Amino acid sequence: MQTIKFLLGSALLCLLCGNVCAESGASLLEGVVSDAMGAVISGARLVLRGATDRETFSDAEGKFAFTGLRAGEYTLVIERAGFNTEQRKLTLTNSALTLTLTLQAASVSEIINITSDDGATENFTKLPGSLHETPRAITLLNTDVMRERNLRSVPEALNAIPGMSVNSYRAGGYHFYARGYRMGPEDTRVDGFIGTNVGGGFGASLFGIEQAVVLRGPAGLLYGSTSSPGGLINLITKRPQELRATRIDVRGGGYEGNGVSLAERPSFSVDLDTTGAFDQNARVMYRALATLENQNYITAGVLDRNRYLSGLLTFRLDALGRYTLTPQAQYARFRRPAGGGIIASPTSSLTTNDGISGPINVNDLSPLDVNLSA
């Protein structure tokens, strides 16, 4: 009996010794949680997963500790509101491990989706429908088209557009018809502004124009009470570009006159267009344009002498170019004598039909002609 008691006591003693030995060989993980500036972070949640799963929080000094851990592979996850979640792989042995954990501030991003359904409204067409659904016909002439067709003025451009007719035979009269409506000088605009034809009797020049947009139909009424239901012409000016480029165009031509020589009534023009940036970041860009034009017509003694100069500077107010300022200075001189709006029949005398040296032969004019240039 005593032998049995001795064996039981020995077994208990060995079990207690084993527990003490195991506790003395347990791992310890401790450390401090801080941000990128070195300031301690309290209240950070630390989750340890592996041979032993534990969870704790950093104290007021940013410190934390995991005790009584078994050796092995662990994954430590650190979380705190306002910071990016960090994750580390650890290998623990029967010794203490001290860590310094740094959390990076989280970036704030928010996505807002805005949707809208335009209700049907009654517009000037007296039909239900939204504004962007209003039917319209648009013709756009860019720089390449104007150069290929040698278009120098708005009336010349209108001759090639369906539904438009110029109300003067001379290239230069700003009066025209659009879908049967008589259009006035305020229906030709530059960058949406009225004034290019105010006080003059000639159509706007295409000098310095990047695009000529012709809006035909009642949609022209969208641009103010001064617009006509026949349409609208908007000239978009050239703007400074980042890449440096210079272009020189030279044009020449003439009319036979009374003889067969093209030199009797020659026409000549030179165009200069240069653009680029002053600095590598293209914060300041420039554009300079110049034109010298001498234009003859079929009638004698009529020679237009036109001179144009334009300079533009674009200032990018921010690095992304979202806000820009583009001042422009332009000089234009027109010398257009009377008599260019009269056309002569091949069977009649030019000297009696040029409007200068003799009376006008009304037999050479159609009853539909309206001479507004002479």
Q: Once rounded to an integer, what is the mean pLDDT over residues 79-86?
A: 89
Q: Is 109 helix (H, G, I), strand (E, B) or coil?
A: coil
Is the model more confident about 120 or about 159?
Answer: 159
Instruction: Reply yes or no on whether the pLDDT at 276 is more than 90.
Output: yes
List, for residues 202-232, the tens digit of each pLDDT value: 677 888 888 888 888 776 666 665 666 778 8
Q: Once rounded to an integer, what is the mean pLDDT over residues 245-270?
A: 76
List, for residues 90-104, the tens digit of each pLDDT value: 888 888 889 999 998
- Choose among 232, 139, 228: nearest CA to 182: 228
The pLDDT, as a whole number, for residue 231 is 80
The confidence band for 348, taking pLDDT boundaries of 50, 70 and 90, is very low
Mean residue pLDDT of the chain comes to 75
- Choose among 91, 86, 43, 101: nearest CA to 69: 91
Assigned token pair, 165? 């007719």
Q: Is 14 helix (H, G, I), strand (E, B) or coil?
A: helix
List, for residues 119-153, the tens digit of each pLDDT value: 544 444 455 555 556 566 788 888 888 888 888 88
The pLDDT, as a whole number, for residue 114 is 67
The confidence band for 157, taking pLDDT boundaries of 50, 70 and 90, is confident
Instruction: Reply yes or no on whether the pLDDT at 270 is more than 70.
Output: yes
Percent of the chain at pLDDT exceeding 90:
19
The pLDDT, as a whole number, for residue 374 is 41
Instruction: Reply yes or no on whether the pLDDT at 298 is more than 80.
Output: no
Cβ atoms of residues 204 and 187 within 8 Å: no
Instruction: Reply yes or no on whether the pLDDT at 253 is more than 70.
Output: yes
The pLDDT, as a whole number, for residue 156 is 81
Cα distances from 167 to residues 89, 155, 201, 363, in angstroms, run 85, 9, 12, 19
Burial of 203 (0-12, 13-18, 19+ CB in 10 A): buried
Pick the CATH number of 26-103 from 2.40.110.10, 2.60.40.1180, 2.60.40.10, 2.70.70.10: 2.60.40.10
Percent of the chain at pLDDT exceeding 70:
64
**Which amino acid is it at 106?**
A
Residue with tokens 């949640």: 45
The pLDDT, as a whole number, for residue 329 is 92
The pLDDT, as a whole number, for residue 215 is 83
- Phi and psi angles of residue 370, each rounded to the nearest 5 degrees, phi first: -125, 110
Give the integer Cα–Cα distance in Å for 220 and 232: 5
CATH no. for 134-237: 2.170.130.10
The pLDDT, as a whole number, for residue 355 is 47
Alpha carbon dihedral 5, 8, 13, 17, in 10-degree steps, equals 170
Q: Once rounded to an integer, what is the mean pLDDT over residues 225-251?
A: 84
List, for residues 39-79, the tens digit of each pLDDT value: 999 999 999 988 778 899 999 999 999 988 888 889 999 99
Neighbours of 175 (CB within 10 A): 19
Residue 148 falls in which region: left (phi positive, over 0), alpha (psi -120 to 50) or beta: alpha
